[in-house]
Structure formats: structure tokens, C-alpha cells
Amino acid sequence: MEAFETYQTPLSSRYASKEMANLFSPAKRFYTWRTLWLNLAIAEKQLGLPISDEAIEQMKANLDLTPEQFEIAAAEEKKRRHDVMAHVHTFGQVAPAAAGIIHLGATSCYVTDNADLIFLREGLGYLIRGLAVLISRLSAFAAQYRDLPTLGFTHFQPAQLTTVGKRATLWIQELLWDLRNLKRVRDDIGFRGVKGTTGTQASFLALFDGDHQKVEELDELVTKLSGFEYAYPVTSQTYSRKIDADVLAPLASLGATAHKIATDIRLLANLKEIEEPFESTQIGSSAMAYKRNPMRSERVCSLSRHLMVLHQNALMTSSVQWFERTLDDSANRRITLPEAFLTADIVLSTLQNVSEGLVVYPKVIARRISQELPFMATENVIMALVKKGGDRQEAHEKIRVLSHEAGHQVKQLGLENDLIERIRADPYFDPIKDDLDSLLDPSSFIGRAPQQVDSFLEKWVKPALEDPEIKAAISNSKKVDLNV
């Protein structure tokens, strides 16, 4: 197996962003390894080890690998069966003045683990910015439809009315929690630093002739050169694989949110109330030409399930690390970590595409309301009669009888709900017949839904999107074209 193939993920990155795909590419990985070797050499030189300026300059000038260097590294790995040593050898060929000091005092995990932590932190940044864009798109949708009444569902059975915008805020709130969780875990990631073969820093202590202070300074300096605020105080040969589990937990939680949103959209598509984008030339079915399958939302559900499962993989790997390390984590992580980030990235970009083209059908929504609202309005009718001097129990019985008759029309005969027509035809309800239209106005059944949307967007969404990093991401964002 060639060296660059070792780090390929089986998940197709067709729909992943260029940034995320590049982050887990062989070119990025080995560039990062070389940068880490450079940082180590700079720090060791600064602390007194005999490393020449020429060695440092040659390393700086050759951080990017050429195609020829990839071939050399592949041949070396095939011969040595060791990816890190293959790349130490390859780097030394283009930086000969540094050949004798590259990787000085380090173990393989100095580059592999520290690079992984860099990738995890950068990957979380991409997801945070992508998630913020999705939140901004759905927030615009919620604001647009803040007061459009729609039938609410509990147990997927008709319930009290809500609004299309209010329902969207339920999605957004969970995404805000995901944004919080991703930021928390990114800000918490530390650096492995220079810890040696079993985490004791013995090799570095030998290099500095037993000077503990210089070893501590080396760890701190390399950590800062690599862009981290702190290094984990103690490690084994590797950083704890619990970090991977901690990082994948909010990704899995994001998967749960995305699955719920996409499922709601799929159900709404079945009701013909809201649909995801559908191109004029798109084909829904090879056999049934009329179909408009919610394929993007289905893709989100499919990938979200995979994303949720990957967290379990990280937990299992963390639980079986023996003492200072074992190697049964390596092949697993080289698949799991890139897949988790690529999957999350694709889920977010697909949901963004859906959110940017959601189609709402107000007349279908109104028709469904009209089928259910007469039953929901019966209490209002009873109260209106009582206000006009009617007897509550008598009014209740009248409504009960008429409701059952209307229910028979709907359930047994497949006809429309004619409860209101029956009420209009019954002389008993003459005192309130002029009020029936107002009593049946859907906007009087949505409670504070529009005001809740306004308050939520102002007090919760707006502050969350005010962060400069997030504002810049939203400002620079473009519509997602999935080229489906």
C-alpha cells in the first residue's frame, strides 16, 4: 500500500467542501508532519542543541511535497513498513543539511498525534462556520413564515395550530446547541507536545543532559510554535483517545439534529405542505414520472445515522487502549476521524442547500387546517354561545352530535368536514352565526407563535451569530449547489 493511500478515507468526498476534503488529504497531512519537524528543530536549536541555520532554512523551503517525493515516500514505506520513517527519509533527501536532526528525540506520535489534534481543531472550525451559515438561512425562513398558521402534530396526529416559522425555530434551537457544543470542544483541544515514547520525555531529557527545565521549555515552545495555548500535562505515547470520543460526541449530536430536521421535511413533503428544492429536469423515479422524492433530506438522514454511529467507534477505541498504548487504534482512527468530519460537512452543506430552496405551499396548508379546525373550534363556539346567554351543557351536547355526524362524513364516506355547514344550518346556533368566521380564523389559534419567533431570533439567534468568526463566514457564504 502506498503511503498516501494509508490516509485515504473510503467515504466519497464528492459533496464535501474543498476545505474539509483538503484537511484530510495526504498533501495536508504530510505538510503538517514536516511543519511539526520544523517546529521541533527550531525549538531545539533555540534551547541550545547544535542545529544549523542551513538545516532550518532547508526544512522551511521544502514543507510541500512534490509528486516525486510522494513516490519516494511510497517506495520507502513499502520497504520499511513504517510511514513516519519513510517520510523522515524523504524529507531528509530534500533538506540534506537537516537529515541528521529531523525527528530528533521524537517518537512517531510526535507527528501523527499532534497532526491529528491540529486537524481536529481546524475541522471543528469548518463545521462551526458551516453550521452558522445554516442557522442564518433557517432563521431567515423562520422570520418569513413567522405568522403563517399550520397544523401542529403530536404523535403525528392533528393537534393545535402553530406556525411554519415557529416550527423552524425548533430546528434552529437544536442547531444553536450544536454550535455551542462544537465551539466548546474546539476551544478545549490541547496539544500532545513533545512527550517521548511512553510519555516520560526520557529521550529529550537525555538530549538536554538531564536539564528538566529545558525539557519543559521545549514542550511549551513547540506547543506555541504549533499554534496551541497549552499541551496536555501528561500523556502516554499517544494523547488519550478519549479526546477523539469527546470530539466526535458533538458531531454525533449534530447528526441527531440533522436527522430530525430532515425527517420533518420528508414528512412535510408527504403532506405536500413543504418541499425541498426540486430542479425542473430532476427525475424522482425511473418508473413513476410524477414523483418528487425528497432525496436530499433522505441523504441527510442516511449520512446522519452514519455520523451518530462513528462516535460509538471512538468510544470503543478509547476503552481498549492498553497501558501506554497499543496499535489497534491506528487503522481504525485513520478511517473514523476523517469520515466523521467529511460526513458532518456533507450533512451541513446538504441541509444548507435544502434550507436555501424550501418551497412552502400555503394553500395546501390552509386546506389541511380547514379540514381539522372545525373540530378544534368547537370549544370557542360553545363559549361564544354561553356569552350570548346559552346553556353550556346543552351547547356541548349539540356540538357533540354534529361533530359525530361530520366525523362520519369524513371517516366513513371520505367526504369533506362539513361541521361548520351543519352548525350554520341548525337554528340553535343563530345567536353566533355572524361570529363564526372570526371564531374560525386560524390566526386566533396560533397563540404567541409569531411573537415567540421574533423573540427567539432577537434574543438567542442574533447574539450567537455576532461572533466575528461566524459573522465573516455568513457574510462570505454562497448558496450551495449540490449539482444533483
Catalytic positions: 155, 285
- Bridge-partner residues for 153, per DSSP? 158
Among 259, 89, 249, CA closest to 182? 249
| Cα–Cα distance measured from residue 138 to residue 399, given in angstroms and rounded to the nearest whole number | 41
DSSP run (H or E) holding 38: helix 26-46
Among 172, 339, 178, CA closest to 250? 178
How does DSSP assign 196-234, residue by residue? -SSSS-HHHHHHTTT-HHHHHHHHHHHHHHTT-S-B-S-
Cα angle 395-400-403, degrees, rounded to a multiple of 5: 120
Most distant CA pair in the chain, distance: 105
Q: How many helices (H) and strands (E) does the chain have?
A: 20, 4
How many other C-beta atoms lie within 10 A of the C-beta of residue 363?
A: 8
**Lookup: cell for 51:** 542545529
Please tell me the chain's helix, strand, coil percentages from 3-state DSSP, rounded to the nearest 5: 70, 5, 30
DSSP run (H or E) holding 353: helix 330-355
| Cα–Cα distance measured from residue 103 to residue 362, given in angstroms and rounded to the nearest whole number | 65
β-strand pairing of 149-154 with 157-163: antiparallel
- The answer to whether 343 touches 14, Cβ cutoff 8 Å, is no
**Three-state DSSP class for 278?**
coil
**Lookup: cell for 169:** 425555530
Q: What is the phi/psi pair of residue 69, to 5°? A: -70, -35
* DSSP code at position 52: -
Orientation of helix 295-319 relative to helix 330-355, angle to 10°: 150
Query: Which residues, other chains included, contact 315 with Cβ-Cβ below 8 Å and sequence gap of 6+?
Result: 245
Q: Is 157 left (phi over 0), alpha (psi -120 to 50) or beta?
A: beta
Residues in the chain: 484
Sequence letter at residue 60: K
| Cα–Cα distance measured from residue 416 to residue 180, given in angstroms and rounded to the nearest whole number | 47
* DSSP code at position 7: G
The answer to whether the Cα torsion of 251, 255, 257, 262 is positive or negative is positive
